[in-house]
Amino acid sequence: MQTYNAPLRDMRFVLHELHGLEKINAYPKYADFTPDVVDSVLEEASKIATEVLLPTNAVGDQEGCVLENGVVRTPTGFKAAYDLFREGGWSSIAADPEWGGQGMPESVNKMVEEMISAANVAFGLYPGLTGGAIRALKDHGSQELKQRYLPKMVDGTWTGAMCLTEAHCGTDLGLLRTKATPNGDGSYRIDGAKIFISAGEHDLTENIVHLVLAKLPDGPKGVKGISLFLAPKFIPNEDGSLGQRNGVVCTGIEHKMGLKGSATCQLTFEDARGWLVGEPNKGMAAMFTMMNVERLAVGVQGLGINEAAYQSAVAYAKDRLQGRSLAGAKRPDLPADPIIVHPDVRRMLMTMRVYAEGCRAVGGWVAQAMDVAEASEDPIEKQTADDFVALMTPVVKALFTDMGSEASNLAIQIYGGHGYIREHGVEQYVRDARIAQLYEGTNGIQAMDLVGRKVGAHMGRYLRGFFHPIAEFIAANKDDAAVGKMVGKLEQAFGALQLTTGDLVQRSMKDPEEAGAAAVDYLRMLGLVAMGYMFVKSAKIAAEKAPTANGDAGFYEAKQASARFFVDRVLPQATGLFLTLKSGKAAMMAMPEDAF
């Protein structure tokens, strides 16, 4: 049985105690989002997640989407759930108030996204992709396009989709063939075919706004010749009502391993009308505005599934009776002890738990920087925040989704054979989580982005916002009575990361293959250190508050226990990766191609 209740207490801890939402409240843009307001939003979001979305999750997996005469029918309950979601204003909470949004800080929005992903990640893709499309159109679209499309996208009446991939090219978008020919009236004729288009066709809304990458007739070859276009399913009339059907047709939907409630479409654009978004031949820059939003959102999908899998596994481990504790019977009144008494089950549950808590804390750190970048008028502060978000975007996307997949598999292991069958629902988490490691750029590509573009950029400027606060925290807390020992272990892992970074930069300058060979392990190493910093910082806060916490003492004690487990059992992986990365590419590249 899929089990999920939003971890509101931990979310409040991350927002208010660990990162200090009052820092964001200090900006006029976010002054209205006081702790009381934020907590109320989280409470209401938890209700729609557990009461509306969670009941449709297994149904969506069992029924999937169906294509009928070019129209995709979503699973039973999705349309009603979407209507409640939209009517409740959830599609607009983080959008710009200029276009009808509520302007919620991203720090809060990411917590809401986590709840949606935990309850029904397939459903979450429909409004989630719209959020990225809104951002791209807001930042790059003409005033006319924004006025025509943004209000209805923000209120959820229309949704958005991102149309990049073609059958013959995935990541290498320079090979795409979709063409855009000027019509002479400011619009363009779009012709081509796209695949793997999430939410490209569905029955939840009356219109779908496609952002399409295509090439102009006179555009340069490769990625430098790509432009971005807006091509709606229905072309709006001047009064905003729906006009003629555009030449965008869904010719098929993918039959997938998981995420079956999300329509993944094959789309054909034939004599479709589109409008340029941004400058000609600058489409990749505009599209990356949307893609980076989605990469962070995909990371949160991994976190949400992790949390749901963890809670389901805990419920099962407390209920399933098998064997006796190695230390003697814990429940002599029962024929056997619950499996939660067994050390190996504890190992798996604690791993899942710290993955979720650690990713939530790191995600909150990044989201707060997004808010600073959005709201600050200080150019240095804004630049520092932007740099940090740029550095951490591939880490959030890759690390969170890797851990979400690992946690889902651990859930099956805890359930044993019962986890392998559909009845209990945890095998769905494994299948749903797997795609998050692939779309919006595979995790290997994220790692190459980190190592190849971010680490050495601007003489290491991106790394300063990461390295400096960790170094300062370690220096200030080495002798702390409560967390000093954990600080020492964090210092060891952090030192290994610093040494690895310097060595990797030097080797990569001489041989680019060294960067490729190291990228995935380096991303994991950096992510583990980020989580370690968050855990030790959390443990310090918890140790200070626990003695006078009264009803919250149990929460703070558990927070310290999570930190100890992470520092003792997970963080040492970073030191091991130091040795792995020190070995370089030699063993990886030595095998002749013919020998494979």
> Which residues belong to the active site?
440
The answer to whether the beta carbons of residues 436 and 401 sit under 8 Å apart is yes
Q: Are strands 158-163 and 179-182 parallel, antiparallel or unpaired?
A: unpaired
- Residues 490-519 as b/e (b if ≥16 CB within 10 A, e otherwise) read bbbbbbbbeebbebbbebbeeeeebbbbbb
3-class DSSP state of 277? strand
Burial label for 201, CB within 10 Å (0-12, 13-18, 19+), is buried
3-class DSSP state of 554? helix
3-state helix/strand/coil string of 129-165: HHHHHHHHHHHHCCHHHHHHHHHHHHCCCEEEEEECC
**DSSP of 223-273, one letter per residue?**
GGGEEEEEEESEEEPTTSSEEEEPSEEEEEE---SS-TTS-EEEEEEEEEE
Name residues whose C-beta falls within 8 Å of residue 156's C-beta, 6 or more positions apart in sequence.
Answer: 82, 85, 86, 90, 91, 92, 127, 130, 205
- Whole-angstrom distance, CA of residue 433 vs CA of residue 420: 15
Minimal CA–CA distance to 90: which of 54, 131, 137, 119? 131
- Whole-angstrom distance, CA of residue 51 vs CA of residue 342: 33
Minimal CA–CA distance to 106: which of 292, 364, 436? 364
Tell the residue number behind the tokens 């820092």, with chain if given. 23
- Whole-angstrom distance, CA of residue 397 vs CA of residue 523: 11
The answer to whether the beta carbons of residues 41 and 104 sit under 8 Å apart is yes
Name residues whose C-beta falls within 8 Å of residue 582's C-beta, 6 or more positions apart in sequence.
Answer: 500, 503
Residue 193 tokens, joined: 């075919």
The answer to whether the beta carbons of residues 199 and 263 sit under 8 Å apart is yes
What are the φ/ψ torsions at residue 243 (nearest 5 degrees)?
-105, -135
Residue 8 tokens, joined: 């509101």
The Cβ of residue 245 has, within 10 Å, a number of other Cβ atoms equal to 13
The Cβ of residue 249 has, within 10 Å, a number of other Cβ atoms equal to 17
Instruction: Classify 424 in phi/psi space as left (phi over 0), alpha (psi -120 to 50) or beta.
Output: alpha
Q: Is the alpha carbon torsion for 40, 41, 47, 50 positive or negative?
A: negative
3-class DSSP state of 279? coil
Cα-based angle 543, 545, 548 (whole degrees, multiple of 5): 120
Tell the residue number behind the tokens 């002054």, with chain if given. 31
